[in-house]
Amino acid sequence: MKKRPGPTTRARIREITGSVAHDRRDDLATEEPLEIRLTAPDGDRKTVAITMRTPGHDFELAAGFLQGEGLVRSGDVAAIVYCTDEDLPPDARYNTVTVRLRGPIPDLPALDRHFLTSSACGVCGSASLDALRDRCVPIPEGTLRLTPDILYGLPDALRRAQGVFGKTGGLHAAGLFSAAGTLVALREDVGRHNAVDKLVGWAALAGRLPLAEHVLMVSGRASYEIMQKALAAGIPAVCAVSAPSSLAVDLAREFGMTLVGFLRGERCNVYAGQERIIAPVME
């Protein structure tokens, strides 16, 4: 039987420096499919997603995906296990997760679709902001306040905690920080949306939602999917080292979220929720 996949895979490569080449081993970020299934006590079951991911924290990924898409809440989950169904080849056991529900599988329109995504792009359960309004409410302003110094420290703190990235150079990261800039939890994956799902899933399974006084820091750009997942988790502030999309900015402004992009060195752009950032404005 195929062994359980890990976050890294060894490969033989040829490295060329100048005009000289030599062969050596290298660590690659593992990318394998994960199928997420729902089962009910009456035996009903459905596959709701197949995503390409980096193995590790698979149960959190499943829980976070379901939370972010508004399909299933953490309180509806009885257990999450790797699948041992007879129709599943043995070598695929660790690439299939079954989420056992306490009740029937909900009859939601989103479940009529078969989600299929790659590590490059996230799944969006709401096709537009109009659909998102039906299941999410704006985030209260709350007490979260951030200084520029706290913001400037987030990227380095995220990078220092990326253990697998240090080996492969090929993974995205999502980090959850306190209002003081302290790292609370971090997850890595080849897909930045998967990294966020793993982080939200960790919080959901630990009963920590909503994450009202926290900051989400992502290693790539801030997309609509990232903002949607943060909104579903109640995260008021999202920071990214790269650019946000136009729809991500629209979502942040409509739902009362703070969105910071191009957070590098000692500079950044605040696209929404400026009231949470403590910085004097020059006229």
Whole-number Å distance between alpha carbons of 77 and 105: 11
| Dihedral sign of CA atoms 145, 147, 151, 157 in order | negative
CA distances from 47 to 4, 98, 107, 112, 167 (A): 21, 9, 13, 10, 33
Structure tokens that stand for 218 in this block: 């992502």
Q: What's the distance, CA 154 to chain centroid?
A: 17
Which segments are annotated as binding site?
A: 262-267
Whole-number Å distance between alpha carbons of 182 and 230: 18
- The region that residue 224 occupies, defined by phi over 0 for left and psi between -120 and 50 for alpha, beta otherwise, is alpha
- The CB-based long-range contact list for 1-4 (8 Å cut-off, 24+ gap) reads 1/90, 1/91, 1/93, 2/90, 2/91, 4/55, 4/94
The catalytic position among 121, 124, 239, 268 is: 121
- Cβ atoms of 261 and 243 closer than 8 Å: yes
Q: Are strands 214-218 and 237-240 parallel, antiparallel or unpaired?
A: parallel
Reply yes or no on whether 121 is catalytic: yes
Whole-number Å distance between alpha carbons of 130 and 98: 31
Can you tell me whether residue 226 is helix, strand or coil?
Answer: helix
Catalytic residues: 121
